[in-house]
Amino acid sequence: MNSPFWNLGRLRRTVQILLLLLTVYGGLLVGPYLADKLSTAFPSLSCIYDQQNSAYCVLRPLQHQLNHRVGESIARLGEVTLEAFRPLLFTFLSFFAFFIVLNKAFCGWVCPLGTVQEMLYRLGRRLGLVAHALVPPRLYQLRAGKWLLLFLLVFLLPLLAGLGMIPGIAGDPYCQICPARLITTLLTASTEEMAVSTQGGLAFAFAAIRNLLFGFTLVAALTVRQPFCRICPMLALHAIFRRFSLLQLVKTPHDNCGHCSLCTRACPMDIPEISGKDPQRAFSEDCTLCGRCAEFCPNDQVISLRFGPMTLFASSKHYFSHRSRTEKPDGTPRLCTEREKPGNQPP
């Protein structure tokens, strides 16, 4: 990664754009039918409502199966069999087949919503807008949000809908409010997911929340990094399995750790634990394996991305000095003139 043009950030951006095209428009390539899809339990927000997508997000079958298989099976008393849980098991297995290889990199490298938010943040930097970093304790409060959404919207409400305790429209509540549903369909020039039900009730409420979240995310992403990712239930689902994958973020403590905090400043999720001394806590539940912490760590071999025993990328003084010439840790690009000014040398 010592090429004058290529660095990990540029490589990731290229992969993100290619995978955005694949997930949003890939149906034109792989075909229209369910059986043609790359996966029906894809570990990123490849939205099922996008008519041209190439894979379906795992959160949709999870909700669907908890609603129609598990919930309805429990509702028909005495019919609870292993059969009701078979599709759920297959969904988890399909999800894990992907996840074991790339782990949470599905958030940092693949997710189309994540890519759009990163592009917006970059636009915000270009426009010179203020950048906000989330710090504890607000950061920790927000972290709970994703677990709440996972438990409530992906697991509990679909199950209750299957049991007949709440209306059927609440059978896939997360998909009803997910801003990826709007962003990905708008990218295919379809405005239909933006339309709000005029019949009132839950359909109206869900669509209103979805549009509000979409609008908020769009503007907030200009100034806060990855605003929706902070509460995304997909990140929570990944966090459960993050220790069971080949791709890992590994940290070796260094004397500087806890002092410069460049890695936390570089992190799009503002994870404070990454700059701490505890290597176990560095691979946090919020980590998206984007690798920016490793890019902006000024010490050799302190933070690395490892695939099994293989080191894919490790921090180094040399790489850091090159990388920080073009970009500040918070993502602000350094202009040529700024780079040449004395005193603007990387820390």
Q: Where along the sequence are the contacts to other proteins (CB under 8 A)?
A: 31-36, 48-49, 51, 68, 90, 129-130, 132, 168-169, 171-172, 182, 190-192, 194-199, 207-208, 211-220, 222-224
Q: How far is the CB of 326 from other proteins (least distance, A)?
A: 24
What whole-number distance in Å separates Cα of residue 175 and Cα of residue 172? 6
| Closer by beta carbon to other proteins, 80 or else 129 | 129
10 Å Cβ neighbour count for 3? 9
Helix residue ranges per DSSP H, 154-193? 157-162, 173-177, 179-187
What whole-number distance in Å separates Cα of residue 260 and Cα of residue 195? 48
In order, the DSSP letters of 303-319 are EEEEETTEEEEE--HHH
| Closer by beta carbon to other proteins, 198 or else 280 | 198
SS3 119: helix
Q: How far is the CB of 31 from other proteins (least distance, A)?
A: 6
| Closer by beta carbon to other proteins, 1 or else 205 | 205
Q: How far is the CB of 1 from other proteins (least distance, A)?
A: 34
| Closer by beta carbon to other proteins, 207 or else 297 | 207
| CA-atom Rg of the chain in angstroms | 21
What count of residues does the chain have? Answer: 347
Q: Name the DSSP class of 333.
A: B
By the 10 Å C-beta count (0-12 exposed, 13-18 middle, 19+ buried), 74 is classed as middle
Q: How far is the CB of 321 from other proteins (least distance, A)?
A: 30
Q: How far is the CB of 51 from other proteins (least distance, A)?
A: 6
| Closer by beta carbon to other proteins, 82 or else 310 | 82
Q: How far is the CB of 345 from other proteins (least distance, A)?
A: 25
Pairing label, strands 310-314, 247-251: unpaired
